Amino acid sequence: MTFETIIYEKKDNVAWITLNRPDKLNAQNDTVRAEVIAALEQANSDDEVKVIVLTGAGDRAFSAGADISQFPQWQPLNVLQRSKGARRPYTVIREIPKPVIAMVNGLALGGGCELAMACDIIIASDKARFGQPEINVGVIPGGGGTQILPRLVGEKKAKEMVFTGDFISAEEAWRLGMINKVVPADKLREAVEEVIAKLKSKSPAILKLAKIAVNKSLETPLSVGMEIENELFAMCFGTQDQKEGARAFLEKRLPEYKGM
C-alpha cells in the first residue's frame, strides 16, 4: 500500500509508522488518521510484525495534534459521526494485540499527546514536550485527553493541563508516570531498539493476553478485572508457548516461542 502522509517501513519484524508532515509539525488531518489506521491494520495482519512503533518525521514534533485548518468546516453532527462511525487511531492502537511503542521525538500536543498515550509504551527524547492545548483554540480534547490523561497523571494535573493548555517537559511527564523513559535526543532510536529487543524475545501469544488484561484494568471495576485476569491467565496454559517457556526454564536454556 502506498501512503501520502505517513511512511510505513517493515524491518526485522518491526513496523515503523512515521507521521510525515514535518512542515506542519505532523498535524493530523483526515488523511493522516485514515493512513495511520490502515498502516496499523497492515502491521496487525502481517504475522512477521512483532512490534509496532509510531513516530513523527523531523526533529520538531511527534505530532502537534489535529489539523486546525480543518476545524472551520466541522459541525457537531459530522464530528460525532466521524468519531462514532469511523474507527479512530486511539481505539485501533488499544485493540491491536501487538505491542505499540510511541517514539516521541518532539512536541506531542492535543491529538499527538493522545496518540502517544494510546500506545502501550512511550519513550521520549529530552526535547519532547507534552500538552493538551485544545482550550486555546476553543475546544476540549477529543481523543482521550480528558479520560486517559487523568488515569495516568491524576485528576489535578490532568485538569491543570486541560484547563491551561500548558505544555510539560518530557522529564516532568516521566516524573508523573505519563511516559516510560526519557533519553537524550541522539539516543532515542537506541532506547526504542532496546525495548523492541526485549519485546521480540517474548511470546507474541502471551504478550497479546497481557495487553488485553492490562487494558481491561482501565475499563472495569477491580473485581471484574481480577476475574478477567484469571481467565486470561488460564488461557496461557492452552498455548504451546507456555509449555515452551516452562520447559526452557527447567532445561536452563532460552525459550523458542512460536506465537501460539
**Residue 14 in contact with residue 46, Cβ under 8 Å?**
no
Identify the residue among 109, 168, 199, 205 touching ligand COA (CB under 6 A): 109
Q: Which residues contact 232 (CB under 8 A, 6 or more apart)?
A: 209, 212, 213
Q: Which residues contact 144 (CB under 8 A, 6 or more apart)?
A: 90, 114, 117, 118
Compare residues 70 and 240 and give the one whose CB is closer to ligand COA.
Answer: 70
**Facing residues of 123 across strands?**
103, 181
Identify the residue among 15, 101, 107, 123 touching ligand COA (CB under 6 A): 107
Is position 27 an interface residue for ligand COA (rule: CB under 6 A)? Answer: yes
Compare residues 3 and 62 and give the one whose CB is closer to ligand COA.
Answer: 62
Q: Which residue has the cell 511503542?
A: 101
Span interacting with ligand COA, options 23-31, 88-96, 189-197, 211-219, rule CB under 6 A? 23-31
111-150 binders of ligand COA (CB under 6 A): 133-134, 136-137, 139
Based on the residue annotation, tell me whether 256 is a catalytic residue of this protein.
Answer: no
Based on the residue annotation, tell me whether 95 is a catalytic residue of this protein.
Answer: no
Is position 106 an interface residue for ligand COA (rule: CB under 6 A)? Answer: no
Provide the grid cell at 156: 489535578
Q: Which residue of the set 41, 134, 155, 193 is catalytic?
A: 134
Q: Which residue of the set 95, 114, 219, 229 is catalytic?
A: 114
User: Which residue type occupies 178?
Assistant: M
Provide the grid cell at 12: 526485522
How many other CB atoms are there within 10 angstroms of residue 27's CB atom?
Answer: 23
Give the total of residues touching ligand COA (CB under 6 A): 17
Distance CA 127, CA 136 (A): 22
| x/- track of binding to ligand COA for residues 60-79 (CB under 6 A) | ----xxxxxx----------
Distance CA 214, CA 177 (A): 16
Distance CA 6, CA 139 (A): 26
Is position 81 an interface residue for ligand COA (rule: CB under 6 A)? Answer: no
> Which residues are catalytically annotated?
114, 134
Q: Which residues bind ligand COA (CB under 6 A)?
A: 24-25, 27, 64-69, 107, 109-110, 133-134, 136-137, 139
